[in-house]
């Protein structure tokens, strides 16, 4: 409810609409609908000394959206009939980077905002950074004239080295550059070492990127389009709803995305959540792409902790199916240290059960792989 208890503010889970209900009216009227681009996580409201009514929400992208007097029609849209109202202002926090964006802001990516609320007369308190080490900051959202700042962009250092202080981290980075020459990790090759096969389709012409996207595409209603060429014209039709992409096509797309650093194609591959398709695709993945895949998944997990449920199967599959290869990678522990810290903090309450579950899952995976090899041998 608002501070004056005259408006009730509602928003559903996994919904990008905010509804304002006037509970002070004697007759029931239509709700005022506000909309944002992504799902709403939390909402806050306040009444200013000047009599204005301000409202904010935090989206799952980690961005704060603000409205000034959302219960009144917007001046810019007074001549247009619209059932919803877009935000009047936004607040975004960027991680400090080396490359500048189009508008000159030095930023690498957006830093997550987990919660926000109004404090004082003209400020917003935000909780940003990492889920393991939150940073609270007050930000002015009103200028000297008392109007909303339309676009607030802040650049802050990224949240790293969560378990150590900044002095120790700086000393560690300096010590890492002063290492003595060491040959303990040198790999010695002999005549028994052979190169890995290329990640192509043997005996056939390699698929184009458009064909791979058609193989991976799933329509909004769950139906997968199947495309074919006739007289030089490509035609698509929908087949059984809920159809999943083939493991071979998804594996090929993964190799293409990792090899060419195509983040858009990799993000499209990571949207699939079918455990069987994920495991079959990761099983076909060449070993040299396993560590880059883990590195990309862990980066996305640390950047957006709320994607843990979606990325968990993608983290589990390489660790189970390529455990033998990963045990030979010397620097893997250091690369996955941030992911281990995040998971360790979440699972501290039932650590023993998770260790037992991990061992049992590893054993079951090895047994299933052995049965699959025996069945393949019997079939031949």
Domains of the chain: 7-73+85-156 (2.130.10.10)
- C-alpha distances (whole Å) from 56 to each of 16, 43, 127, 307 are 13, 6, 14, 23
Q: What is the pLDDT of residues 179-196, one digit of tens each?
A: 555 555 555 555 444 444
Q: What pLDDT score does 238 carry?
A: 41
Q: Cα(275)–Cα(310) distance, rounded to whole angstroms?
A: 11
Q: Cα(132)–Cα(342) distance, rounded to whole angstroms?
A: 7
H/E segment holding residue 374 = helix 351-379
Q: What pLDDT score does 57 carry?
A: 93
- C-alpha distances (whole Å) from 36 to each of 116, 119, 213 are 16, 23, 28
Tokens of 28: 């029931």
**Angle at which helices 263-270 and 290-303 cross, to 10°:** 80
Residue with tokens 């209900």: 21
Intervals of the chain under pLDDT 70: 5, 26-29, 73-83, 97-108, 160-207, 209-210, 212-248, 345-351
pTM of this prediction?
0.42
Q: Could you tell me which residues come within 8 angstroms of residue 134 by beta carbon, excluding any fewer than 6 positions away?
A: 114, 127, 128
H/E segment holding residue 260 = helix 247-260
CA 7 to chain centre: 34
Select from 201, 203, 196 the least CA-distant residue to 215: 201
DSSP for residue 5? S
Q: Cα(43)–Cα(58) distance, rounded to whole angstroms?
A: 7
Q: What pLDDT score does 245 carry?
A: 54
Q: What pLDDT score does 136 carry?
A: 92
Q: Cα(52)–Cα(285) distance, rounded to whole angstroms?
A: 58
Q: What pLDDT score does 160 carry?
A: 64
Cross-strand partners of 32: 20
DSSP for residue 26? S
Do residues 201 and 252 lie in contact, with contact meaning Cβ atoms separated by under 8 Å? yes
- C-alpha distances (whole Å) from 14 to each of 36, 39, 126, 322, 363 are 12, 5, 21, 35, 37
């Amino acid at each position: 409810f608002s501070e004056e208890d005259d408006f009730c503010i509602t928003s559903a889970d996994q919904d990008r609409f905010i509804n304002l209900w006037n509970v002070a009216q004697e007759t029931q009227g239509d709700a005022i609908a506000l909309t944002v681009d992504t799902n709403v996580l939390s909402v806050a409201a306040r009444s200013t000394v000047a009599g204005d009514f301000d409202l904010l929400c935090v989206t799952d992208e980690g961005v704060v959206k603000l409205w000034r007097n959302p219960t009144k029609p917007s001046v810019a849209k007074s001549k247009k009939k619209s059932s919803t109202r877009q935000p009047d202002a936004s607040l975004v926090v960027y991680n400090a980077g080396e490359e500048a964006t189009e508008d000159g802001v030095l930023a690498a990516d957006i830093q997550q905002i987990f919660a926000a609320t109004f404090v004082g007369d003209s400020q917003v308190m935000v909780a940003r950074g990492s889920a393991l080490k939150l940073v609270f900051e007050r930000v002015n959202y009103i200028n000297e004239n008392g109007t909303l700042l339309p676009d607030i962009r802040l650049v802050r250092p990224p949240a790293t080295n969560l378990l150590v202080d900044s002095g120790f981290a700086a000393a560690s980075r300096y010590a890492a550059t002063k290492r003595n020459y060491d040959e303990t990790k040198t790999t010695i090759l002999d005549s028994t070492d052979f190169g890995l096969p290329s990640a192509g389709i043997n005996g056939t012409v390699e698929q184009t990127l458009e064909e791979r996207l058609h193989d991976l595409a799933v329509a909004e209603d769950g139906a997968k389009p199947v495309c074919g060429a006739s007289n030089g014209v490509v035609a698509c039709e929908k087949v059984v709803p809920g159809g999943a992409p083939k493991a071979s096509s998804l594996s090929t797309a993964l190799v293409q995305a990792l090899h060419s650093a195509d983040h858009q194609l990799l993000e499209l591959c990571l949207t699939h959540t079918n455990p069987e398709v994920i495991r079959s695709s990761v099983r076909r993945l060449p070993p040299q792409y396993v560590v880059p895949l883990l590195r990309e998944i862990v980066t996305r997990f640390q950047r957006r902790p709320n994607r843990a449920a979606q990325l968990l199967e993608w983290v589990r599959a390489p660790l189970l199916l390529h455990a033998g290869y990963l045990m030979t990678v010397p620097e893997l522990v250091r690369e996955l240290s941030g992911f281990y810290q995040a998971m360790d903090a979440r699972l501290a309450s039932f650590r023993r059960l998770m260790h037992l579950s991990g061992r049992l899952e590893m054993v079951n995976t090895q047994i299933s792989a052995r049965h699959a090899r025996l069945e393949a041998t019997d079939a031949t």
